Chains A and B, each alone.
Chain A
Amino acid sequence: MKFGIVIFPGSNCDHDVYHVAKHVLGQEAAFLWHKDASLSGIDCIVLPGGFAHGDYLRSGSLARFSPIMKAVEDYAARGGLVFGICNGFQILTEAGLLPGALVRNAGLKYICRDQYLRVERQDTPYTARIKQGTVVKIPIGHGEGCYYAPEEVLRELEQKRQVVFRYCNAAGEVTAEGNPNGSLRAIAGVCNEQGNVLGMMPHPDRCAEEILGNAQGRRIFESIIHSWQQARRTRI
């Protein structure tokens, strides 16, 4: 499987994702420059974390108009896997590929810490190897990760089961203390209706091998690979 990692000016987790895909999981990986217009041969596009275009104006607002984003939108519309992590999630919401927006953390501070998340559904390509209800510990590092959407959109998200990750405490309970940034309904990650586009604020790329003290993020990447292999098998 080949991961395509988009580099915007200001991306800073591009190499983390590349390392996980290539060296930890033994897959192919390629960097894609934000001015590229083609995505040929890529099986999963990753929009990595960082501060694309300096986060000027709003996080993700300028990156959303980078030339490659037209190709990413077409790729998503065809059902291709598009995975946004942190700043990548912000870019996907700005691009309208995912609903809602990410605004300043309720406590105003940039937060960098380990965070518990509850996996809300297993039937997505990103969580295929993680049972629904599982609590995973994955670090966050953001100043603008407070998920916001109007009430009617939130209701629709719940109804269509688009909330994939929710902030929680160690026991898996969604509590005010377990919600680091004031996200509405403790939303940490959402997918589109079809489930092929996912955005999440926490960083599975920062915890995918034991040497880092936590390998739980690896399960998300393994899910992607597993789903891709399954889909390929059905096609053949």
Chain B
Amino acid sequence: MKARVYVTLKRGVLDPQGKAVCTSLHQLGYREVTDVRVGKYMEVTFGGLPRQEAERRLRLMCEKLLANTVIEEFRFEIQEE
């Protein structure tokens, strides 16, 4: 079982990295870009759990460690292999 976890900064939190990337895209001529937010992508592989329990535990992992919920939000997808 594999989970894809996406962690991004919350809307109100300044993302200077995203801003720098946005500026570079503008310099490359991609004027249509209005905003870039840089986040993290993690693949978590685990096994031996029914899907619902896996989701519950993954949510806890995100809240406890994978994301800092003061500044970040997360979402994930679980794939059976």
Which A residues are within 8 Å of any B CB, using their own CB?
57-58, 61-62, 65, 93-94, 100-101, 103-108, 146, 148-150, 182
Contact between chains at A108 and B14 (CB < 8 Å):
no
Residues of B within 8 A of A94 (CB): 68
Q: Is B12 an interface residue (CB 8 A)?
A: yes
Contact between chains at A104 and B16 (CB < 8 Å):
yes
Given A61-B65, A65-B65, residue A148 in contact with residue B70 (CB < 8 A)? yes
Q: Which of B12, B13, B70 gathers the greatest number of chain A CB atoms within 10 Å?
A: B70
Q: Is B60 an interface residue (CB 8 A)?
A: no
Residues of A within 8 A of B13 (CB): 103, 148
Residues of B within 8 A of A103 (CB): 9, 13-14, 71
Q: Is B78 an interface residue (CB 8 A)?
A: no
Interface string of B1-27 (1 = CB under 8 A from A): 000000001001110110010000000
> Closest approach, in angstroms, between the C-beta of A2 and any C-beta of chain B?
32
Say which residue of A93, A106, A149 sits within 8 Å of B14 (CB atoms): A106
The 3 A-B pairs with the shortest beta carbon distances in the complex, nearest first, are: A101-B70, A101-B71, A108-B16
A107, B14: Cα distance in complex, Å = 11
Residues of B within 8 A of A107 (CB): 16
A106, B20: Cα distance in complex, Å = 11
A sample of 16 inter-chain contacts (CB < 8 A) reads A58-B68, A62-B65, A101-B68, A101-B71, A103-B9, A103-B13, A103-B71, A104-B17, A105-B16, A108-B16, A108-B17, A108-B20, A148-B13, A148-B14, A148-B70, A182-B14
Q: Is B36 an interface residue (CB 8 A)?
A: no
Residues of B within 8 A of A146 (CB): 14
User: CB-nearest residue of chain A relative to B42?
Assistant: A57
Contact between chains at A150 and B16 (CB < 8 Å):
no
Count of residues in B whose CB is under 8 Å from the partner chain: 12
CB under 8 Å from chain A, chain B span 53-74:
65-66, 68, 70-71
User: CB-nearest residue of chain B relative to A94?
Assistant: B68
Contact between chains at B12 and A150 (CB < 8 Å):
yes
Q: Which of A61, A101, A103 gathers the greatest number of chain B CB atoms within 10 Å?
A: A103
- Known: A104-B16, A148-B14, A182-B16; 4 extra A-B contacts, CB below 8 A, are A101-B68, A101-B71, A108-B17, A146-B14
Contact between chains at A148 and B17 (CB < 8 Å):
no
User: CB-nearest residue of chain B relative to A107?
Assistant: B16
Contact between chains at A57 and B14 (CB < 8 Å):
no
Say which residue of A57, A105, A150 sits within 8 Å of B65 (CB atoms): A57
User: CB-nearest residue of chain B relative to A184?
Assistant: B14
A75, B48: Cα distance in complex, Å = 38
Residues of A within 8 A of B17 (CB): 104, 108
